[in-house]
Amino acid sequence: MTDRIREFLKNRKDEGPCLVLDLDVVRDNYHAFAKALPDTRVFYAVKANPQPEILALLVKLGSSFDVASIGETHAVLAAGCAPDRISFGNTVKKESDIAAAFKLGVGMFAIDCEAEVEKVARAAPGSRVICRIHCDGTGSEWPLSRKFGCEPEFATDILELAHKSGLIAHGISFHVGSQQHNVEAWDRALASAAAVFRTCGERGIFLAMVNLGGGFPARYLRKTPKLESYGKAIFRSLRRHFGNRIPETIIEPGRGLVGNAGVIEAEVVLIAKRSPEEDLRWVYLDIGKFHGLAETIGESIRYPIRTGKDNAEKVPCIIAGPTCDSVDVLYEKTPYPLPVSLAIGDKVLIEATGAYTSTYSSVGFNGFPPLRSYII
């Protein structure tokens, strides 16, 4: 929570839950990445929060961008980014979208299987391709798991096919899982990447780049290591596995760049006790899983929730959203301590909600409008 956000919320006139995001925090985070990983270029993962003001700021700061779709490509170009600073990082793309991105000047694409290489070779001839290898996501709170990436042993064959198809086999990418708590999580993937560099070299294909992905955490309830520790651990692993021939590296932070820049203000709609004996209370907010808090699925991400009464005694509560859908419960397995004196109509602040919230909001399920965003 920054003074600017506090001031904005104090003067806000309209009703309903909203996200307020402070661009100064995004700017500070960008500089923190540049400092922690000084030889690594930043490609902002647009899906974390694609608001035009954020993209425009990052263009101005010199960031590059990781996009997953043609829509995100247009958004980044509209913010003033040159197409040579865009990486199309989704390994699952329609051929027509690859062709459209290529026509707009995008020249770098992620692939993780032979069929995707064939698509890129046809739709974006001569482009650079990065082969994504699989990571198991251990240590992360939001793993990206088995959906993406080939087994490292297969990457050399896939990159060789790319090379023979007239593409530039440019490097390796991976994602260690989002909200990664273990600063050493990059080590194993970098060992695999170095092995692929060697086997490709033996076949006369010289890779140049390692895309270190995202995974850098935002601070929620659980304490996280400092960005500096991630930078140091990654550099040590690069040295360990690549020796004096450290390749060009890029990172694709999403959560770590915008997560802590945003705060959601919401309101308590109802506090209910469901039996005379039970102490557990149900606290219903005017925001839930369908209005941006989708990352509470499995209670993975535990947001800090502040109230105006945090000095009062706290009792365990089940927190739920306002819709008539029973999956719309935020925290139940592990109840959330909230003040005894919390009352219907009170405002609550859900902190570190700058990433993966506003675009997860449904267009109007149950008649609730989508989450409003203010970028200040």
Ligand X SMILES: *Cc1c(COP(=O)(O)O)cnc(C)c1O
- Amino acid (one-letter) located at 356: Y
Give the Cβ contact number of residue 243 at 10 Å: 9
Residue sitting closest to ligand X (CB): 214
**107, 137, 231, 256: residue in contact with ligand X (rule CB under 6 A):** 256
Among 21, 30, 57, 66, binds ligand X (CB under 6 A): 66
Question: 3-state DSSP call for residue 114?
Answer: helix
Q: Which of 107, 171, 213, 262 binds ligand X (CB under 6 A)?
A: 213
Query: Measured from the CB of residue 38, what is the shortest distance to ligand X in angstroms?
Result: 19
Give yes or no for residue 190 binding ligand X (CB under 6 A). no
- Name the one range near ligand X by CB under 6 A: 54-62, 72-80, 194-202, 253-261: 253-261
Q: Does 97 bind ligand X (CB under 6 A)?
A: no
17 makes contact with ligand X (CB under 6 A): no
**Residue of 139, 142, 174, 138 whose CA lies nearest to 155:** 174
Find the part of the chain contacting ligand X (CB under 6 A) among 181-189, 211-219, 280-288, 331-339.
211-219
Residue number, 322 or 354, with CB nearest to ligand X? 354
Does residue 152 belong to the site contacting ligand X (CB under 6 A)?
no
Q: Distance (Å, rounded) from C-alpha 47 to C-alpha 43? A: 12
Query: Residue 124 or residue 185: which is nearer to ligand X going by CB?
Result: 185
Per the CB < 8 A criterion, the answer to whether 346 and 267 are in contact is yes
Examine the residue annotation and report whether 324 is marked as an active-site residue of this protein.
Answer: yes
Residue 99 dihedral angles phi and psi, to the nearest 5° = -60, -40
User: Per CB under 6 A, does 214 bind ligand X?
Assistant: yes
By the rule CB under 6 A, 354 interacts with ligand X: no
CA distances from 9 to 244, 267, 268, 303, 307 (A): 52, 13, 16, 19, 14
Report angle CA 50, 46, 7 to the nearest 5 degrees: 45
Residue pair 108/86 in contact (Cβ under 8 Å)? The answer is yes
**Which residue from 219, 257, 251 is spatially nearest to 26, judged by alpha carbons?**
257
From the list 81, 113, 200, 324, the catalytic residue is 324
Residues known to be catalytic:
324
Please give the residue ranges that form the binding site for ligand X (CB under 6 A).
45, 47-48, 66, 89, 175, 178, 213-216, 252-256
